[in-house]
Amino acid sequence: MVEEEKDGEAQAQEETTNLVVPWMRAPVDVSHVDSCSLETLPSLHPRLKEALEKMGISSLFPVQVAVWHETIGPGGFERDVCVNSPTGSGKTLSYALPIVQTLSSRAVRCLRALVVLPTRDLALQVKGVFDAIAPSVGLSVGSAVGQSSIAGDIAQLIKTPKLDAGICYDPEDISQNLESSAVDILVATPGRLMDHINNTKGFTLEHLRYLVVDETDRLLRESYQEWLPTVLKLTQASDDGLFPSSTPFVPSAFGSLQTIRRQSVERGFKGKPYPRLAKLALSATLTQDPSKLIQLDLHHPLFMTTGATRYRLPEKLECLRLICETGVKPVYLVGLLKALEGEKCIVFTSSVETTRRLCKLLNFFGDSMIKAKEYSGGLNQAVRSKEIKAFRKGDIKVLISSDALARGMDVELVTNVINYDMPQYPKTFIHRAGRTARAGRDGRCFTLLGDHEVRRFSSLLKKVGNASCPIYPIPPDLFAPVRAIYEPALAKLKESVEPIAPKRGRQVGFKHNSRTTNSQTKRNKATSEQA
């Protein structure tokens, strides 16, 4: 993927120059923090406790406890927080809970918290987490993501006055005008957010108090229409006027609100309250690149990480490898999938095109072998949503995917991740593998390798802090029937996907992805992580 390549270059640069911003050199190590039961969590709102219990949550994970202390506890949102914590460790709730808790005492509905994620599916997943807790304290959550109707968004986000019988809407009436937003919290993708900022009447970030940049490294890698500088600028605009810290909002001459974001006294401001937006940045592979981090304009940032290594795999993840004979990699994959029959598996490939072909090929092996569906940026959103829904429900057990599914997606009971194509970069490995072994559960990550990839894979494993990756032995009796039907399945695939005259020596297959042309590869890569 073009994105992962950029990531790789950036990582290589960081690794060689060893540039680390000073505040990252003294992190809070979350691996020394214990889980905490809801009963003993200080200051937790009783209705939030109930909502969490309804979700089946009885205690907070370490990263959630650490962020809680820094925001609700003694830290009191004094500093911006940057979290680097493994996949599946519960980062979503680590920011959702303190934001909902602090906003639970708000008097007037305004857009106070903005959560930005790189893809539509991720944004909707995170909205689901807020939806599970925010209504319990009277807060409303909205979403603004691509490929949904703008009119629908506007109806959901902007409050229009109700014209009840006998009551007239009076735009001069401040009490009617106070609530312009229909939501307190907005979960958005950058493109749709910019649409609203530029075009939606009544949409304002004037009262924003919290900004969450989830999957930070991914979001900072691309400018997405300059969304971040725009948001920072719009929230700074209302910082010009300072209001007494005891007055959380003041009706202005225009009937709208003005918000003091932080009521703390900042260094160098001689006792004056200095309004600012509180920011939280999170990822399992948080960038350490100063030129990227500077874009966030962080305030006395506090860095939370887990352990001494840069990246960390989930504790209960088991890594295994399969060394495949040249030219018959799909046979190994089908053999492995037969060995894992009945369990939920995600198979990652290197591109949209390989995803499409591999999925077709597997289905040509016949229903009795493998039933697989595909998920990639090459499909339209409706199809992707349908497939992911079926996968969540368990109607589909095998999902062949590009890296569109690698980051953040939380699908329950995925017990196996299979790297059909070896990931090129440590970050890609971390995110792919992290679709399993989530929330302290067990999971396995298999990587299929050709002989020529073994050395490179060993060096990649070292970078993700995992030295042990034994060979997985597929039971030999599973291979023979698969081998027997490989050639006919391949022939069917050739007929179905090879309208272009094959080049000399070119075969349909998955042995070498380099066979696709450069422009094709670039196209595929470019779409593979698109929302």
Q: Which residues would be at the binding site for ligand ATP (CB under 6 A)?
A: 57, 59-61, 64, 87-93, 284, 408, 410, 434, 438-439
Contact 70, 104 (CB under 8 A): no
CB of 412 to ligand ATP, least distance (A): 6
C-beta separation of 419 from 427 below 8 A: no
CB of 227 to ligand ATP, least distance (A): 20
Nearer to ligand ATP, 59 or 516 (CB): 59
CB 184 within 8 A of CB 106: yes
Helices (H) and strands (E) counted in the chain, each on its own, are: 18, 16
Q: Which of 228, 345, 290 is nearest to 21 (CA)?
A: 290
Least distance in Å: CB of 61 to ligand ATP? 5
CB nearer ligand ATP, residue 220 or residue 331: 220
Residue nearer to ligand ATP on the CB measure, 83 or 370: 83
Q: What is the DSSP annotation of 89-114? A: S-HHHHHHHHHHHHHTT-SS----EE
Q: Compute the least distance from the CB of residue 457 to ligand ATP, in Å.
A: 22
**Nearest CA to 51 among 139, 125, 109, 135?**
135
Is the torsion defined by CA of 483, 485, 486, 488 positive or negative?
A: positive
Q: How far is the CB of 92 from ligand ATP (least distance, A)?
A: 3
Minimum separation from the CB atom of position 225 to ligand ATP (A):
24
Which residues are registered as beta bridge partners of 514?
none
Q: Which is nearer to ligand ATP, 89 or 140 (CB)?
A: 89
Q: Residue 127 CB, nearest distance to ligand ATP (Å)?
A: 13
Contact of 365 with 348, CB cutoff 8 Å: no
Q: Give 61 or 375: the residue with its C-beta nearer to ligand ATP.
A: 61
Which SS3 state, helix, strand or coil, does residue 252 take? coil
Residue closer to ligand ATP, measured from CB, 144 or 317 = 317
Q: How many CB atoms lie within 10 A of CB 20?
A: 14
Nearer to ligand ATP (CB atom), residue 87 or residue 204: 87
Nearer to ligand ATP, 41 or 205 (CB): 41
Read off the tokens for 82: 């940057």
> To the nearest whole angstrom, how small is the minimum distance from the Cβ of residue 512 to ligand ATP?
31
CB of 214 to ligand ATP, least distance (A): 8
Pairing of strands 278-283, 59-60: unpaired
**Joined tokens for residue 198:** 């530029």
Quick check: 411 and 344 in contact, CB under 8 A? yes
Helix (H, G, I), strand (E, B) or coil at 291: helix
Q: Which of 155/439 has CB closer to ligand ATP?
A: 439
Taking the complex as a whole, how short is the minimal distance between the CB of residue 141 and ligand ATP, in angstroms?
16
Identify any residues that bridge with 304 across adjacent strands, giving them in sequence order: 28, 83
In this complex, which beta carbon is closest to ligand ATP, that of residue 197 or of residue 414?
A: 414
Q: At its nearest, how many Å lie between ligand ATP and the CB of residue 484? A: 39
Q: How far is the CB of 461 from ligand ATP (least distance, A)?
A: 19
Q: Which is nearer to ligand ATP, 121 or 410 (CB)?
A: 410
Helices (H), 340-403: 352-364, 381-393
Looking at the DSSP assignment, which residues form a beta bridge with residue 187?
115, 143
CB distance 351 to 519 below 8 Å? no
Are 48 and 97 a contacting pair, CB within 8 Å?
yes
> Please, which residue, 61 or 203, has the CB nearer to ligand ATP?
61
Q: Which is nearer to ligand ATP, 93 or 208 (CB)?
A: 93
Q: Is the dihedral of CA 357, 358, 363, 366 positive or negative?
A: positive
Cα gap 295→205, rounded to integer Å: 18
Residue-wise burial string across 486-499, b where 16 or more C-beta atoms lie within 10 A, e elsewhere: beebbebbeeeeee
Q: What is the residue whose two structure tokens read 């966030």?
A: 296
Compute the least distance from the CB of residue 120 to ligand ATP, in Å. Answer: 15
CA 214/CA 234 separation, integer angstroms: 20
Closest CA to 108 of 288, 293, 302, 249: 249
